Structure formats: C-alpha cells, structure tokens
Amino acid sequence: MSEITIEEARKFFENSFSDWIKELDITITDISPGSATLRIPATKRINRLGGMICGQAIMALADTAMVFAVATNAGSFVSMTSVNMQTTFLRPAEGEEMFAVAKVIKSGKRLVYGEINLHMGDASKPVSHVTTSVMLL
C-alpha cells in the first residue's frame, strides 16, 4: 500500500470536489494512514446568528475529512459514498478556525466505519463528534 502525500490529497481535492465544498476554503493540514486533519476558517459566509459556524458547514467538513481518512487507509483515492452520518453537536462552534480530525476505526472489504472529532483551535474542547459509515464502491 502506498502512502498518500498532502500534495496528492490537495490535488485530489481541487480536481474532485464540488465547487460549493471548495468555496468553504478547506485546507488539508495532516494525513497519515487511516487519518486526516482538515481545517476551515470561520467566515461570515458560514456563520449563523451569534457568530458560530452553522451545522451544515460542520457536517460538510466532517464528511470531507472522512474521504481523506478512508483514502489514506486504502492507500489510494477509491470510489466511495457515505452511508450513514451521526452528528452530535457538543457546544457552539465559536472561534477563528475549526479543525476536523477523521480516523478510520474499522475497515472491511466494502464498509468503513470512522469517527471525526471537531474542535475550534483548542483541541481540548470538542464542538462536535461524528460517527460515519462509508461504502467502498
């Protein structure tokens, strides 16, 4: 299994994701086998009343992060689709930037189970926890 570099991941992101996801200004900050960390800046465009990041942007970031965790687990960018996503919002997402740390928990032949922990700058205070199942196509 070959390792995916951050540069390869960034190129895949630019060439494969919908424009509206790219407009969120997501940055891939770290990848390793079965894991990926992505960052998104808090902007007026994705903030809701009160200055917190909206749930839709949080879920889009989590789902995108899982794509890269699954790819690094597989060793390549394979076709996949999200099957299930359970999101728990733990506290308001207030701050300047949000990080999503996605990890593959269990990988089968066709189904991959993972979790994504999201935090604002300070990793000790999670704002959301997501569990997800992804089907390899």
Domains defined along the chain, listed by start = 6-136 (3.10.129.10)
Three state DSSP letters for the chain:
CCCCCHHHHHHHHHHHCCHHHHCCCCEEEEEECCEEEEEEECCCCCECCCCCECHHHHHHHHHHHHHHHHHHHHCCCCCEEEEEEEEEECCCCCCCEEEEEEEEEEECCCEEEEEEEEEECCCCCEEEEEEEEEEEC
pLDDT digits (tens, 9 = 90+) for 48-71: 888 899 999 999 999 999 999 999
The whole-model pTM stands at: 0.95
Query: Span 76-105, mean pLDDT?
Result: 96
Residue 1: per-residue pLDDT? 53
pLDDT at 2: 63
pLDDT attached to residue 60 = 98
